[in-house]
Structure 1
């Protein structure tokens, strides 16, 4: 009878968007728990944004920390190979029985690499225990640093990648009081044109690399037209003129069936 393989835990440690002071106590403890670190890079031996957050926090990077390569490409075949390679490498490391903590910028459950990695790892080794440590998202930090309220009382709020295009964004402006448009770099000029047409430039703000030493806030959004911005950038857009439907308040009384 063969002995069952014992795997370490896979821990997704959310680090917040850039300011190490936003790392939660739980994530901080995981980083110093003796678990082996994994961190994402776009190319082999390239710098890691997530790793840099921890370094700014004053924690020394362990000598045995391992990089996992997740290329920035839309080539489905290259992506599939990269994911398979990263997941296989992760399972092999977990097979030693030692926990692995994967460094995640922002929040691990929101547009993050960790969810996909954890899913593929579980497909390869269903016995692996996965823990996700929540963290501060980029849009929450951006709202705080710019003084924008994402939603009050009965207001609505949506988060979407700008890549869905201006038609979708235009529609959502009528459905939500505030939009967080993530990864605006490829469509920035088109989005600015839309906001100009909708007369929403005055209630929009651009934030780049929030919480990092390179953080940049631009309230004169139209001045960004034609500029090449960083990949880690977003727009917060509020539509104070949105027409809202009638709300149902309170609980509806339960109908009692009447028997003859």
Structure 2
């Protein structure tokens, strides 16, 4: 009787906001110990997650590049959702095939895997079928606050984390009720987000942070940000009202 091969373990590994020194010790260990490493990237562009983890990869590891068919900067709506659903289905199938060989797979993810992380879509598809573990990473909102040098929330304040994809009316309503806020998913939504921040009376406290902790990092008042050039790796940070002015 043929002995059944044990399945591999699925790892969701947060590699932080971009600075390789912000990859945790546990993430380094898991990356180095896994026989296969998977990572997401936009078509025709290098993977930011792989770049952050590059020094911890080793010769002979199997690499699975998962290229998005489209990005939020280029498309939106039902068609976009269908494309992404199919992409994540296919990516999960590719990873599952490797796990079925008895090979552990570390799926690299910018920031934290379960905070707006692409890994969560793999996790939702595979975690019930395979042994899995998530290694948390430094999320971009904390990296943004760190490079800005401003506390996000103090004492009993509440932090509101919002998506720039929200309709303008909803975004403005939530910002107006926020004591401190971070707006993710900017890209082509930056002009709308800035208008909502201004309408909510928060423009004087709002900062635009681009590629926090990376060599090409940019920080400037939101009022001065160019809405035509906001990349995906950018956020708006509206820190605590008690934060010192830069």
TM-score, normalised on structure 2?
0.86
Question: 1:29 — aligned with what?
Answer: 29
1:98 is the counterpart of 2:98:
no
Counterpart CA distance in 2 for 1:108 and 1:98 is: 20
1:164-220 per-position Cα deviation (integer Å, ceiling 9, x unaligned)? 13322221223321111001222212222233344422211110111111111112x
Question: 2:198 — aligned with what?
Answer: 196
Q: Secondary structure at the match of 2:111?
A: coil
Question: 1:118 — aligned with what?
Answer: 123
Number of aligned residue pairs: give it: 234
Q: 1:146 to 1:131 in 2, by over 3 A?
A: same
Question: 1:133 — aligned with what?
Answer: 135
Counterpart CA distance in 1 for 2:219 and 2:226 is: 15
Q: CA RMSD in A?
A: 2.2
1:64-105 per-position Cα deviation (integer Å, ceiling 9, x unaligned)? 212122323543333232222111111110111121101111
Query: Residues 1-260 of structure 1 correspond to what in structure 2 (within 5 A)?
Result: 4=4, 6-43=6-43, 46-55=45-54, 58-60=55-57, 62-63=59-60, 64-73=62-71, 74=76, 75=79, 76-122=81-127, 126=129, 128-219=130-221, 221-238=222-239, 240=241
Counterpart CA distance in 2 for 1:209 and 1:68 is: 21
1:115, distance to aligned residue in structure 2 (A): 1.2
Counterpart CA distance in 2 for 1:50 and 1:101 is: 12
1:3, distance to aligned residue in structure 2 (A): 5.1
TM-score, normalised on structure 1?
0.82
Question: 1:245 — aligned with what?
Answer: none
Q: 1:239 to 1:17 in 2, by over 3 A?
A: closer
1:225, distance to aligned residue in structure 2 (A): 4.2
1:60, distance to aligned residue in structure 2 (A): 4.3
Counterpart CA distance in 2 for 1:21 and 1:60 is: 14
Higher Cα Rg: structure 1 or 2? 1
Can you give the 5+ residue segments of structure 2 that lack an aligned partner in the other structure? none
